[in-house]
Amino acid sequence: MAAAPVRQRSGSAGHRAQLPPCYYEGYLEKRGPKEKASRRLWTCLCGNSLYFFNNAKDTNYVEKLDLCGFVSLKDDCSRDRNLEAARLILRMKDGETKLTAPNLESRELWKGFLYSVIDLNVPSCLTLLPGQLQMLKEVVDKERSRRRSRNPARAPPSPLSVPLVGEIPPCFRPVSRTEAEVLLERHPDCGNMLLRPGRDGCSLAVTTRQDLNGSVFRHYRVTQRDQGGYVIDVENPIPCATLYEVIDALVEKTAGTLQPFLLEEPYEENITYVSANDENGERILHTAPSSPLPKAPALPPKQDRWSTSPLSRSPAPDRRILTSPVPASPTNPMRRLILSPSPLAQTLNEELKLKLEKRRASQE
């Protein structure tokens, strides 16, 4: 049997009559995080929960899945024995539930109804017909009215209305309890403890997440004392002078298991600016040109002190030293070096002297 939109049933027997209004129902194959095989169950989206029945006529449901712990919903593209079937992965805080719809159209409708109930807004990322989108809009309105009538006195999470004393730790986030859990769930590598405003708007809270066969969340109240400072409201209250000490105390008490949540925000890589077109007044986003940094002036090339180039000359002091007269001192080593002829010069002088003597002798 294919999935069907809302069909109000009249009946007084069993639990079905006591359930919230049913927005969508149909057969789905379900496999929970601890189940080894899938089961084909009649599934009803009633209020903000999924109820599973053995068949469409049963009045007592066999399982219930509360969507308050929703984390994500994505398609599962793995093959199924039924080639027309379309799979879904519904990720909750306590694990993943795999659902299989009869076909792609049914899967898109299930996604539309689930997103509408969870976010209280008609999703815009799905391929649906105008009539189907109108059905989702009616479901959103009904679910909003149901929640208002069920909890008329419950106030939404409010921002902190009292000034904080001292510096605020970087792990502080102005989020609600549910948003804090989602942040810690989605970014486990950024830390597992964050500071946030309390529900009453007059206190703070610390939300922590740890893994124990799934995510385990804990929430601790932090109140501001009249005489100054803060206190962690546990069985044995822990006084702290500053909010930094609140975080340090929880890190110390857990031997470093809890670490502050520090989410690295991305930075822009280019400089952009908005300007208006003089002709039509249209505003356009521009990217500033990225000019390279000016280069440092190049140093003059080094001159080789041994170069024989005509432009390369030895320094003046060296020239003066070589041309300066040597003192007439018999003990001066430089004088001995200059006046002492080399062995080759002595040989040439002797040969020349002998030749001159022979010439003179022949002339005589």
CATH code of the domain containing 118 = 2.30.29.30
Average the pLDDT over each of 69-78, 112-121, 147-156, 299-308 and give the range with the smallest value. 299-308
Task: Please give the pLDDT value at position 364.
Answer: 65
pLDDT band for position 50 (50/70/90)? very high
In a 13 Å sphere around the CA of 322, the CA atoms on its Cβ side amount to 5
Task: Output phi, psi for 312, to 5 deg.
Answer: -95, 115
Any idea which residue has 């890190």 for tokens?
251
- For residue 330, being part of any structural domain is answered with no
CA distance 305 to 302: 9
In a 13 Å sphere around the CA of 39, the CA atoms on its Cβ side amount to 15
Which of 20, 75, 74, 72 is CA-nearest to residue 50? 20
| pTM of this structure | 0.43
Three-class SS of residue 287?
A: strand
- For residue 11, being part of any structural domain is answered with no
Based on the structure, what is the number of domains in the chain? 1
Given a cut of 90, whether residue 208 has pLDDT beyond it is yes
Task: Please give the pLDDT value at position 10.
Answer: 39
- The mean pLDDT of 195-216, rounded to a whole number, is 89
Calculate the average pLDDT of the chain.
79
Which of 237, 173, 251 is CA-nearest to residue 205? 173
- 8 A C-beta contact, residue 229 and residue 242: yes
- For residue 171, being part of any structural domain is answered with no
Task: Give the pLDDT confidence of 256-270 residue by residue, as tens digits.
Answer: 999 999 987 666 777
Task: Please give the pLDDT value at position 114.
Answer: 93
CA distance 35 to 137: 34
Domain residue limits at 113: 22-150
Given a cut of 80, whether residue 172 has pLDDT beyond it is yes
Q: Which residue type is seen at 143? A: E
Given a cut of 70, whether residue 273 has pLDDT beyond it is yes
- For residue 236, being part of any structural domain is answered with no
Given a cut of 60, whether residue 2 has pLDDT beyond it is no
pLDDT band for position 125 (50/70/90)? confident
Structure token pair of residue 280: 């039509």
- For residue 335, being part of any structural domain is answered with no
- For residue 364, being part of any structural domain is answered with no
Which range in 64-78, 150-164, 280-294, 315-329 is most confidently predicted, on average pLDDT? Answer: 64-78
- 8 A C-beta contact, residue 40 and residue 29: yes
- 8 A C-beta contact, residue 257 and residue 191: no
Structure token pair of residue 161: 């209305």
- The mean pLDDT of 266-295, rounded to a whole number, is 75
- For residue 348, being part of any structural domain is answered with no
- For residue 32, being part of any structural domain is answered with yes
Q: Which residue type is seen at 221? A: R
Q: Check residues 63 and 165 and name the one with the higher pLDDT.
A: 63
- 8 A C-beta contact, residue 172 and residue 243: yes
pLDDT band for position 1 (50/70/90)? very low
- 8 A C-beta contact, residue 48 and residue 66: yes
H helix intervals, 87-175: 104-119, 130-150
Task: Please give the pLDDT value at position 97.
Answer: 92
How does DSSP classify residue 18? G
Given a cut of 70, whether residue 43 has pLDDT beyond it is yes
Task: Output phi, psi for 156, to 5 deg.
Answer: -70, 160
- The mean pLDDT of 5-27, rounded to a whole number, is 69
